[in-house]
Structure 1
Amino acid sequence: MDRAICRLNGGCSAGESRGETSEPRPSRGLITLEELESLTEDLDSHSALGRSNSPVGESVETMEVEERDRLLHFWQDVGRGHQVDVPRDMAEPIQLLTTDMENNQEREKIPSTLLTKKEKCGVLLYEKRNLEKLNWACITVREETYEQSICLGFMKLMRYICQQNSSGNYLGMTIPIITVVQVDDIRSTLLREVTVAYYLPQQYQDHPPQPLDPEISIETWPAMVVYSRPFNGITNEASILGEIRTLTDVLGSLSINTGNSFIIAGYTSPAALHRHNEIWFLERH
Structure 2
Amino acid sequence: MAEPIQQLSSDNQGRSQREHVPFTLLLRKEKCGEQLYEKRHYEKGHWACITMREDTYEQSICYGFMRIMRYICQQNSLGESKSNYLTFVLFQCLSDLGDYLGMTLPIVTILRTNENHSVISQDVTVAYYLPIEHQAQPPQPYDGEIVIEVWPAATVYTRGFTGPTNEVTIINQINAMAELLDSPGMCVNDSFIVAGYTNPAHSNRQNEIWFLERR
Unmatched tracts of structure 1, length 5 or more:
1-92
> Quick check: 1:96 aligned with 2:26?
no
Aligned equivalent of 1:248: 178
> Quick check: 1:147 aligned with 2:58?
yes
The answer to which structure has the higher strand fraction is: 2
**Rg comparison, structure with higher value:** 1
Taking only the aligned residue pairs, the percentage that are identical comes to 55
**What is the TM-score with the length of structure 1 in the denominator?**
0.64
The amino acid across from 1:217 in the alignment is V
The answer to which structure has the higher helix fraction is: 1
| Aligned partner of 1:135 among 34, 39, 46 | 46
Q: Is the 8 A contact 2:61 2:200 kept in 1?
A: no
Deviation string 1:105-146 (CA, Å, 9 cap, x unpaired) is 521000100111110111111111000001000001111110
Aligned equivalent of 2:115: 185
| CA gap 1:126/1:99 in 2 versus in 1, 3 angstroms | closer
TM-aligned CA deviation for residue 153 of structure 1: 0.6
CA root-mean-square deviation: 1.6
TM-aligned CA deviation for residue 169 of structure 1: 1.0
Q: Secondary structure at the match of 1:258?
A: strand
> Quick check: 1:158 aligned with 2:65?
no
The amino acid across from 1:96 in the alignment is E
**What is the TM-score with the length of structure 2 in the denominator?**
0.84
Kindly indicate whether structure 1 or structure 2 has the higher relative contact order, using CA contacts under 8 Å at least 6 residues apart.
Answer: 2
Unmatched tracts of structure 2, length 5 or more:
79-97
Aligned equivalent of 1:115: 26
Aligned equivalent of 1:267: 197
TM-aligned CA deviation for residue 186 of structure 1: 1.5
1:11-30 alignment runs, 5 A limit: none
Deviation string 1:29-62 (CA, Å, 9 cap, x unpaired) is xxxxxxxxxxxxxxxxxxxxxxxxxxxxxxxxxx
| CA gap 1:137/1:246 in 2 versus in 1, 3 angstroms | same
The amino acid across from 1:244 in the alignment is I
TM-aligned CA deviation for residue 255 of structure 1: 3.8
Aligned equivalent of 1:197: 127
